[in-house]
Each structure stands twice: as C-alpha cells, then as structure tokens.
Structure 1
C-alpha cells in the first residue's frame, strides 16, 4: 500500500505524523452522550455485554457469570451506538464497542451517539487506541478513570467523510478475512484437543493391542477393558490425603526465597502442563513443618480452582489443602496422570472446573482400569510420543493465530493513523 503525498506533525508522540489533509477534531463534536435508563421495561430488551469480540448478546436463559437481581438501572443501547468503559481502563480487556443490536447494558458504561462521521472508522480508530491502552495519559484516580469532560476534550485525527468510508470498508473486508482464518485455526485446535482426549481415553481403557479379548468393566466411563486388566478404586491403590497450609498464609516467617521446598499454589498448577518445574514462592523450614512435603516424581491432584487437574512435580514441593496426593501409590505415575488428564473419571461428579466436587472420599472412590505395570509403562510411553506430536501441532496453530492477530492490529493501526493509504 502507498503512503499519502504529504504529512504533518500530529503533536502526539505515539501518533507521529498524519496526512496533511486530516483534521484535528475534539470529541465533543464527534460524540453525543446519551443515557436512557430502562427502569421497569428491562424485560423488553436484550441483555448486551462488552467483550473482546465486541458487543454481544447475553443468553439470560443459560446465564454464564453473575447477573443482578434486577436490571432497572441498566441503560438502553441502540443499533449503531458506541459503548465505552471509561473506568478501570488499564485492567479492562476491551473498553470500546460499536453495537449492532438494540438492547440494554450496565449503567456503569457510557453510551455515545456520533455526528457526521463514519461510525466504523471511529470504531477502528478507538479499537486501535484500546489495543495498546494509548488513552493512558487521560486516566485519573485509583480506578484509572477517564472523565467525560476529559474524553470530550480529547482530539481525534480524522480524514474527510468519503475517505473514512473507504478506510472502514477496506478494514471491514481485510479484518473479516483475518477473523475467518483465526476462526478456522481455532476450530482446528479444538479438533486436535478432542483427538488428544480420545486418544488418551482409548489408550488407558483399551491398551495398545487392538486384538486383545475384552470384558465389561462395570464402570460407565471405562466401558470394556482387556480381560487381564483389573478395575480398582483409587483407595485400593493408596490412601488419598490432603495437603496442609501454614496459617496465617500471609505471614512472612513461613516463606524463604532460598528455601528447599517450593510452595505450590493453584496458579502454579494452572500455568503448568504435565510437570511442575517451578513455583513463584518457597517455604521456610517453619512453613514446611506446617505443610505437606512431596518429593520429585510425586503425582498430586487439584481439588480447588482448576479442579481435577493432575500434575507430576519435578521439584521438591509443599502442597496446601487444595490438593490431594497418593502416598502409597505403586502404579506407574504417568499412567495415572493420563487417566486423570482424560477427565473421564470425573463423569457424574459435576462439571469440570470450579463446579467439580472433589475431596479425599470422592477421589478415593473413583474406579480406574489397572493393567500390569509393564503395560502401564508402554501406554505411558506411547502417549508421551503421540500427545507431544499433537501438542506441537497445537503450538504451531496457536503461533499462527498470534501472527494473524498481530497482523490485524498492525494493519488497523497503519490505516487509521494514515501511515498507509488505502485504495478501494
């Protein structure tokens, strides 16, 4: 794409030069504030939300997240309205949206109409600002709030209306193609993850020999298993014990950056894959004495936060009571890891994640297939190899998505700031 013939200094550090014929216009001439509270008419409106994917409709029949008891304080949103979140700007993933719907949204947001501009161009301009939080100089107070007076006095560089329309059309076309490519890659990742789960489930319940005689396990999630395998509850293999925490947990005497034992928090497990390699904190000897130490190679299971997630530690750790462990386990640790990783043992215990109800009794009662130890090792080795291939494919797709998103961000920035000239 070509550049414009001539440029001028914008006077804004991050913006640099802009095309000479673009105008500097205060927002008070672009945006008009409107707030119509829905009151007792809330049932007449669709519930809207501002998300990373823009303004979306919320399903009130199958709600996700918390809803208020009443929506009387919510405000009307018309199709073509701008929705801004002008508080907690730094922390909020997306603070601007252009609504394609007629509905209502929380009264905490700010609703604007626009005058004599192309709405999509203005949306792309502020989407670009929001992506890098470039309105940061306007924040005030502990909640990073932009006052309406400050927002109205902020200047926007915009081209003539016909050029705004060309830019908006160009970005609509280009970003739609990028979004389509991202959606395709995300679907491919979902299929790869599904394939991985099926591969693990089949391997830990059927083994690697497709011709082996089978028997009914008597357990719904397991189905049929090889005749020579056993079906045992976890408590038959080992006691199931909980970790423990020094109290109060924020007392600095329990921590030591040079301590021998790492302190495991839920966030450490959430950020890890099969193996726990490091944590952000270490316990002092005193802290360790009030917790439960585990040696490298130990398997433990989260029963809080990322509920049901298994992990094998590669380092000396101490775990709190949000985890359970298996002190007498003599089975292959990685084989057990894959059984828990499949999520199938939790069927009937609740929804995976925070709603799953696990404790030492429920975990101990879980029945699992137990092949001979030599076969457990072969299955674990096979799954190591095959899941590594799948994970590599997922990583490549994920990297591709990030590159597409980066390209989209750079494209929008270059076009709405006049660094390049579009031709439609």
Structure 2
C-alpha cells in the first residue's frame, strides 16, 4: 500500500456531488417508454465493464415527470449493479441517461476521476460483495457504497494511472479475446468431428446412398435410416420426488449440462432442490435430452440412477442402437439443426415427443457404432486437452489483469 502523503483515502459520500439510483416505471404503461425517441434507461444487464451509449429500453419525459426517483445522470457517470446476478458489474454512460433501482450511480466528483473509481471498484469488488452477504441475496446497498473509502492520489496522477490501465488492460483483453476465439474454433471442430462420424462413418471409401432427406444428404449404403420412434423409447410414467427412495436420487435439470459437450455437473438430490412435482426415473447409462431451447444442445449420459424434470426426455434405445452412439447423434449438428427448425413452429422453442419421434436416426451395425464412438472419444480427448490449456491461459491472464489493477490503484506500481 502506498504511504505517499499525496495518496489519501476519500470517502465516496464526501467526494461525490451526487450518488443516486433510479426506478422502473410500470411496464404496462406504454406512455412511459419510447424505443425511438426516449431517454436511455440503463438496467444492470447492460453493465459489462463498458461504455454505454444506447440501451435496450428508453423512457419518456413523462416517465421522468411522474417518478421523482427517476433521474437523468450526465455523461461520464459511473454505474454499479447493487444486487442480482450482475452484482458488482460496472459501466460508464457516455450520454445523458436514467437507470433502474438496481444501479447505484456516481455522477461527478472534484476529487476522483470516475474512470479511476471504475478501476478502484474493480479492485474492491470481491471484498465489497463479501461484505454484502448479511441476509439472503447479496446486496451492495447505497449505504455500503457511499461508505467505501477509495485510496486516491492527486487528480493528475489518477489520470496517468487510468491511461496506463486502459492500455495494459486493453492489451490483456485482446489476448483473452483471441484465446476465447480459439475456444470457439475448438467447439466447432468438436461438433464437426461428431457430426461427420455419426453421419458418414469412419471409412471414406464406403459406398454411399441417398438418405432421401435433403438436409442429411448421402449416408453409408449399409446403414439404416429409420424414424427415432422405431428405435427409441421415452418413458411415460413419473414418480413422486417427495418419497424417500426418490428424494435421495440426483435430479438432473438442463442447467447442470454444459451446452454442446454433454458434460454433466453433479446435480444435488431431488430433496435438496425442493422438488415436489412428478419426475422421470431412470437407470445409470440412460441418455437424457433437454427438450427446451434445442439450440443449446443439452444432452448427457447419466452416470447414476437419477431423476429428471419434465423439461427433459430420458431415452431408452433398442438393442440395435448403442447409447453412446445415440448420445453423439443427439449432439450432432444435423440433429440440432433439425430440432431448432422444428421447434420454431411453436411459441416456446422446444422439441415435443412427436417431433423427436420423427427424427431420422442413423443406425450402422452395432460393432461399427462402437468403433465410431471410440474414434469420437479419442478425438474429443485431444480437443479437450487443448481446451484445458487455453482455459488455464485465460485464467492466468485474468489474474494478471486483476493484479495490475490492484497494484496500480494502491500505489504499489509506480506509474509515470
């Protein structure tokens, strides 16, 4: 920590001319909202450590007149999310704007540059959130934020620190963005590997035939193409999760499955999740598919006896279909495209039983299925190794970025 006499702690309540918030006009009152010609109205979902010029929703001058808590803040004002899923997220508005009640706004100070406060709050974010954990959900109250004491050098020094951090953090963010793009390319490679293997097989010289389905194209001549409903069964009976024997079983929900990979986070027992409505019960090794929002491609193989909600289908294949091969078909691009296309026919994107039953499933001989599954798993293992290395590199860069910010705003790093 810097001991220079020019660095002083300043309580935000004393340093700022105005620290405030906003409110939410009634959503059904259309006269309070104007998408084209209103005043930008910031919600916490738009706070992403960014500059904000446009918002998803604008409010009208009538809304301002009818709501004393709804105020306009000037360009350069700093906003922080006080609660909810975005707690601690930050943004700086570059135009006049209002906000909802979940934002705390620091408008102007003669002693603290808002961009410097932005970096100070990034440095302090984890500690501030831990201090807000008194009751149910974390809440960074205005009182807590107003009482925060920021260590500040003179304004001229603050500007130098901000310029330094903008440059260094920008460089680090560019590196992180490139690595995230590599992760995206690996995910595409994974999907392409799975899709090709389950639709074309492993032998590039195998005789091919028309599948008679435009979007599927040619398939190996010795493979069957049959409707899903003739080779797979979805149980219809449900069990009561409040009964002791079922309440202790893991309850799989879509949120526990990683999109596009089938990786399953271990779900808590049904009783811990407060389950009360009927659930599907199935044995270890069952393929489980989420019928909601099929673009997310959420499917897994359960490693244990478990339950799942009505938003998911446990699928039992016939003896002619390996459950791992079925799993990879449901992860393939051609199935996801089919499911998304069909789901658009209804208001809520989902795949109903009839749609799933009509899907043209591909069935090679059972020994060939095993070979394909083995080849896919081998390829995925290599991809996951690369993914793990990149994710660790991103973590290190993120930690380095945080360390630079901390050292700069506490004076440990001399910035000239």
Match of 2:384 in 1: 391
Instruction: Quickly say closer, same or farther: Cα 1:359–1:35, change in 2 above 3 A.
Output: closer
Runs of 4+ in 1 over 6 A off after TM superposition: 34-38, 67-71, 138-141
Match of 2:113 in 1: 118
Match of 2:10 in 1: 25
5 Å matches for 1:48-197?
Answer: 48-49=42-43, 50-56=46-52, 60=56, 72=63, 75-85=71-81, 87-88=82-83, 92-116=86-110, 117-130=112-125, 132-134=126-128, 136-137=130-131, 144-145=138-139, 148=142, 151-197=145-191
Higher relative contact order (CA 8 A, sep 6+): 1
> For this pair of structures, how many residues does the alignment match?
388
Moved more, 316-325 or 365-374: 316-325
- Render the CA deviation track for 1:272-292: whole Å, top value 9, x for unaligned: 954658431168xxx9xx754
Instruction: Quickly say closer, same or farther: Cα 1:125–1:234, change in 2 above 3 A.
Output: same
Instruction: Quickly say closer, same or farther: Cα 1:102–1:223, change in 2 above 3 A.
Output: farther
Match of 2:213 in 1: 219
Instruction: Quickly say closer, same or farther: Cα 1:137–1:239, change in 2 above 3 A.
Output: closer
Moved more, 72-81 or 139-148: 139-148
Match of 1:281 in 2: 269
CA contact (8 A) 1:78 1:101 kept: yes
5 Å matches for 1:299-318?
Answer: 299-304=287-292, 308-318=297-307
SS for the counterpart of 1:348 is helix
- Render the CA deviation track for 1:366-404: whole Å, top value 9, x for unaligned: 112222222212211111111111122112111111111
Cα distance in 2, alignment partners of residues 316 and 253 from structure 1: 15
Match of 2:326 in 1: 336
Match of 1:361 in 2: 354
TM-score (normalizing by structure 2): 0.79
5 Å matches for 1:393-412?
Answer: 393-412=386-405
Instruction: Quickly say closer, same or farther: Cα 1:382–1:47, change in 2 above 3 A.
Output: farther
CA contact (8 A) 1:197 1:342 kept: yes
CA contact (8 A) 2:83 2:102 kept: no
Cα distance in 2, alignment partners of residues 139 and 387 from structure 1: 40
Q: Structure 1: which 5+ runs fail to align?
A: 8-18, 61-66
Instruction: Quickly say closer, same or farther: Cα 1:29–1:355, change in 2 above 3 A.
Output: same
TM-score (normalizing by structure 1): 0.78
Q: Alpha-carbon deviation of 1:416?
A: 0.5
Moved more, 110-119 or 357-366: 110-119
Q: Structure 2: which 5+ runs fail to align?
A: 26-31, 65-69
Instruction: Quickly say closer, same or farther: Cα 1:332–1:408, change in 2 above 3 A.
Output: same
Instruction: Quickly say closer, same or farther: Cα 1:147–1:379, change in 2 above 3 A.
Output: closer
Cα distance in 2, alignment partners of residues 239 and 233 from structure 1: 12
